[in-house]
Structures are given as C-alpha cells and as structure tokens.
Structure 1
Amino acid sequence: MAHSYCDFAAQPDTAIVHRIYHDTAYGFPIHDDNELFGRFILEINQAGLSWTTILNKQENFRAAYAGFAIDAIAHFTDADRERLLQDAGIIRNRLKVDAAIANAQTVLTLQQRFGSFKNWLDHHHPLPKAEWVKLFKKTFRFTGGEITGEFLMSTGYLPGAHSPSCPIYAEVLKCNPPFAG
C-alpha cells in the first residue's frame, strides 16, 4: 500500500524541510509568476534525485536563478549558463540548466499572450493529468509525466497533494476551492 506525502511528512524522523514544505507550500496556489516559475525550476531539477535534496538547496536555487525572476533568467547569457554549471549549491546538469533558461523564454511569450504564467495555467484548467502532460511536453523543455504532475499538484492544479484526512487539506481548500485537492 502506497503512503501519501501527508503520511511521510507526519513521521517523527522526517526531515523538518519536508514538514515545513508539506504544511506551508505543497498544494497551495501560487499567484506570483516568478514564484510559480521557481517551483517549476525546482520540480525539473528534482528529476532523478530526492525531493529532500531539492528542498535543502531551494535557497541556493533562488540565489543562482536571480530570485526566480523570469525576465532575468530568460536573458541569461552563456556566462550565466557556465556560472550555473559551476555552482555546487544547485544541481549542475546542463539539460536542466538549459531547460530553465529556455522555459523562462517560453513563459515570457505566454505572459505576453495571456498576461501571466498563472493566467496561462488558469486558461487550461481543469485538464486531466494526461492532457496537462501533453500540453507541457509541447510547450516546455524537460517535462514529462512526473515533473508535470508534481508541479501541478504542488501548485493546486491537480488533486492529490493532501489526503482528505490531513489537516492541511482543509487549509488548501480555503485558499483556492476550485483547485482543491
């Protein structure tokens, strides 16, 4: 039987970063485009690694990626790319670094067309996970089912972030009932 993230985060030996993330961020809507994109960067970088690793490095990612400022990342130069690939505080994977930059450029285009990255997501909501995955694969780099699903679940666009018996579930519902789950 699979255990939920809620069950995992409630265990006494679970790292505090997981409990904080579970209680304050996971499943809650993000209204700021830069923070939304920052979560996307973190989810992309988690691929093949543990979420604990990403949570422990999240402030390093924020610093390395210009506070997650989409416009700044979209205009990163080859020197910025090399700086990121040398930064031991983040994940130094060329495909992931290149995806962050290319995806920031894509989000700038989406912002021009829809007013914001969030508006683009809202425009497509609700979709079943399979349709979101197709849309993300068509729109962004380095996205698949797991990355897309976790990004959307962690930001309230897909259900399943919290089990109904979890006390945080009710908090998520209060924040954004249409995106609950």
Structure 2
Amino acid sequence: MSYCNYIPTMKEPSRSLHQNYHDNHYGFPIHDDNELFGRLILEINQAGLSWETILKKEESFRKAYDAFNIEKVATYTEKDRERLMSDAGIIRNKLKINAAIENAKTIIELQKQHGSFEKWIEMNHPKSKEDWVKIFKKTFKFTGGEIVNEFLMSIGCLKGAHAENCPVHQQILKTKPMWLKQ
C-alpha cells in the first residue's frame, strides 16, 4: 500500500499530520539549500524510528538547528553538540548530531564548488537509486540506502513519493523544473 493510500486508514491526529506532509511537502522540489539540508537532517534522524515521530518533532529540529541554517550549523562547537544532546525536542543521538554538523560543512564545500547544494544534486541527476547511494555515502555522513532513497524521493529526484493516480502527484509534475523531469 502506498503512502497515498495508507493515510486515509490512519486515525487522528496522525492522519492530519501525515496528510499535511503528503499534500504539501512530500515529493515537491526544494530550491532552498537550507531547506534541503533540513530535509536531509530529518531523514537521517528518522533512521530506526517512525516518520510520524519526526513530523511531530520537526519544529523542534528547526529551532534546535537554527532554522537549518547551513552556515550556522557548520560552525557548531562542542557546546552546541552538548546542547543538542540534552534537547528532548529532537532525537538525541550523537552520531546523527555529528552527521548534521559534518554534513553542513560538506554542503558548504559543495556550494563553493557548484554554486549550491541543489545544483550539486542537479549535476548528478538522473541516477539510479544505487548510484545515488554510492555518491551520498562517499560525500555525506550517516547516509545509508533508505535515508538516501527517502531524501531523494521527498525532494522529487526519485520516483515513488506518490501513486501515479494521486492528485498531488499531478500537482508535483507541474512544479518540477525541467532537469527533474528527465
């Protein structure tokens, strides 16, 4: 059963939470590097947990990680790591916190080389899921196959975010830049 068909079977308040993400975020292209970074942080933190847990904590993540500001997160110190480890509003996992900080530094380098994180993704598109996983594992921390797959589906780079008969799928197709339509 696809995400699109699964949501109507959920009970409230889960249903509304997932419906909002499905209708307004999942599979839509993101053109802001900070938001792309934020989605990567959320996907990394979802590993081993339910997506609902992450959706409930999204605003806390946004606050804890300075609105996903790449420049700020890249300069986090040991004191910031300790702050994040004690923040009950987010997932307090040292490996995931370290990955966010190191990945911010990596994205800054990609921005210097390619103009933006989005342009780096565009430069590598299209690729198979397997090829994307290799690139992400080589480039970023804490990015296994499922994390990479979900991240790329969630930003419209890989197919599968929505059933083809889902009205949101048709809406997304209209908003995709040409490079994502390949």
Who is 2:128 aligned against? 128
Who is 1:17 aligned against? 17
Matches of 2:50 and 2:181, distance apart in 1: 26
TM-score w.r.t. length of structure 2: 0.95
Matches of 1:12 and 1:102, distance apart in 2: 36
> For 1:30, what is the secondary structure of its paired residue?
coil
Cα deviation 1:118-144 (Å, max 9, x = unaligned):
000000000000000000000000001
| 2:61/2:90 contact within 8 Å kept | yes
- Give unmatched runs, 5+ long, in structure 1: none
Q: Which amino acid aligns with 2:7?
A: A
Who is 1:95 aligned against? 95
Aligned length: 179
| 2:8/2:15 contact within 8 Å kept | no
Q: Which amino acid aligns with 1:136?
A: F
1:6 aligns with 2:21: no
- Give unmatched runs, 5+ long, in structure 2: none
Matches of 1:66 and 1:150, distance apart in 2: 23
Cα deviation 1:10-48 (Å, max 9, x = unaligned):
335252110000000000000000001000000000000
Matches of 1:39 and 1:163, distance apart in 2: 21
Q: CA RMSD for the aligned pairs?
A: 1.3
1:167 aligns with 2:167: yes
Who is 2:176 aligned against? 176
Who is 1:145 aligned against? 145
1:60 aligns with 2:82: no
| 2:162/2:169 contact within 8 Å kept | yes
TM-score w.r.t. length of structure 1: 0.96
Who is 1:114 aligned against? 114
| 1:6/1:162 contact within 8 Å kept | yes
| 2:34/2:68 contact within 8 Å kept | yes
